[in-house]
């Protein structure tokens, strides 16, 4: 997760270019300094720790200006609409009306929302473009038939509370309580939605299950080509609530993939 400007390799086109600031998730869901306090991971030879929290959005320098603009016309607005609708259904007054809190009748344009999410993830982890250049091209091409590579799985959960984070490749292992693993290629937690791009191959069982294995599998959302919105319940039968592993908490051991693995944040109402 690159948090400073300058030239670098674009996470979508792979070219060496000036990298531009991208809000992940989009600013209009409340990802701005009025509502968000962020703290980057700081690494040193002694290990990783969390920097101090300061007012500011979750942002990343991972895409060139051209690639950064690809999703601003339709995909990011579809994401913003979906986020706000889920947020509305999860308000206490609305939630009482839902028969089953894990079944939310929100409208969603799956192809547009998935493109917005995946472009953000390719900004968070520039190794994705190296490993999946053809899929990166499909994400860039507005008319392409898109299909998530078989080795990848995109997962969706609900998350409550104030903890938000965006991260690249990093491994969390729960060492106290139930054995669990969180090993995303990229993840985006911003209440009420959490997204994780992970390997579709199961992790070695000795490490415990990957927490996103229980989440809704939305890997095929990117194949929807139309702007048509559908009822979320027609796409996923139920959505789990999940909590992000707490960096620095006793029960989780964290193994870093690269120097700046994630940015943590608090979202205030
Ligand atoms: Zn680019």
**Cα–ligand 1 centroid distance for 140 (angstroms):** 9
* Ligand 1 center from residue 64 Cα (angstroms): 4
Q: What is the Å distance from ligand 1's center to 260 Cα?
A: 21
181 CA distance to ligand 1 centroid (A)?
Answer: 32
Output the pLDDT for position 191. 96
159 CA to centre of ligand 1 in angstroms: 31
Strand order in the sheet with 252-256: 180-182, 170-174, 252-256
CA of residue 185 to ligand 1 center, whole Å: 19
CB atoms within 10 A of CB 79: 26
The candidate with the shortest Cα–Cα distance to 249, out of 172, 196, 192, 194, is 172
- Give the list of residues 6+ apart from residue 70 with CB closer than 8 angstroms, or none: 12, 119, 139, 140, 142
Angle at alpha carbon of residue 46, lines to 43 and 49, rounded to 5°: 45
CA–CA separation, 107 and 90 (whole Å) = 14
Q: What is the pLDDT of residue 139?
A: 97
Asked whether 243 and 161 are in contact (CB, 8 A), the reply is: yes
Q: What is the pLDDT along the chain (269 residues), one digit of tens a residue?
A: 888 889 999 999 999 999 999 999 999 999 999 999 999 888 777 777 888 999 999 999 999 999 999 999 999 999 999 999 999 998 888 877 777 777 899 999 999 999 999 999 999 998 999 999 999 999 999 888 999 999 999 999 999 999 999 998 888 888 888 888 998 999 999 999 999 999 998 777 788 889 999 999 999 999 998 888 999 999 998 899 999 887 767 777 877 655 567 888 999 87
Nearest to 214 by CA among 150, 149, 157: 157
Provide the b/e sequence for 44-71 (b: ≥16 CB within 10 Å).
eeeebeeeeeeebbbbbbbbbeebbebb
């Amino acid at each position: 997760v690159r948090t400073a400007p300058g030239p670098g390799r674009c996470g979508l086109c792979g070219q060496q270019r000036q990298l531009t600031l991208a809000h992940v998730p989009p600013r209009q869901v409340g990802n701005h300094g009025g509502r968000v306090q962020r703290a980057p991971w700081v690494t040193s030879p002694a290990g990783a720790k969390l920097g101090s929290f300061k007012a500011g959005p979750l942002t990343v320098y991972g895409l060139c200006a051209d690639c950064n603009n690809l999703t601003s016309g339709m995909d990011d607005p579809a994401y913003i609409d979906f986020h706000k609708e889920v947020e509305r259904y999860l308000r206490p007054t609305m939630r009482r009306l839902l028969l089953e809190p894990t079944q939310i009748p929100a409208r969603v344009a799956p192809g547009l929302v998935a493109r917005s999410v995946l472009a953000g993830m390719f900004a968070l982890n520039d190794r994705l473009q190296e490993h999946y250049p053809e899929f990166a091209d499909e994400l860039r091409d507005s008319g392409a038939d898109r299909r998530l590579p078989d080795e990848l799985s995109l997962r969706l959960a609900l998350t409550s509370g104030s903890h938000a984070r965006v991260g690249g490749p990093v491994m969390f292992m729960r060492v106290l309580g139930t054995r669990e693993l969180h090993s995303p290629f990229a993840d985006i937690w911003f209440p009420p939605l959490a997204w994780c791009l992970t390997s579709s191959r199961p992790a070695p069982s000795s490490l415990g299950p990957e927490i996103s294995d229980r989440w809704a599998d939305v890997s095929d959302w990117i194949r929807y080509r139309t702007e048509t919105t559908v009822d979320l319940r027609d796409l996923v039968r139920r959505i789990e609530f999940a909590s992000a592993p707490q960096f620095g908490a006793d029960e989780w051991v964290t193994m870093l993939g690269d120097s700046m693995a994630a940015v943590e944040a608090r979202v205030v109402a």
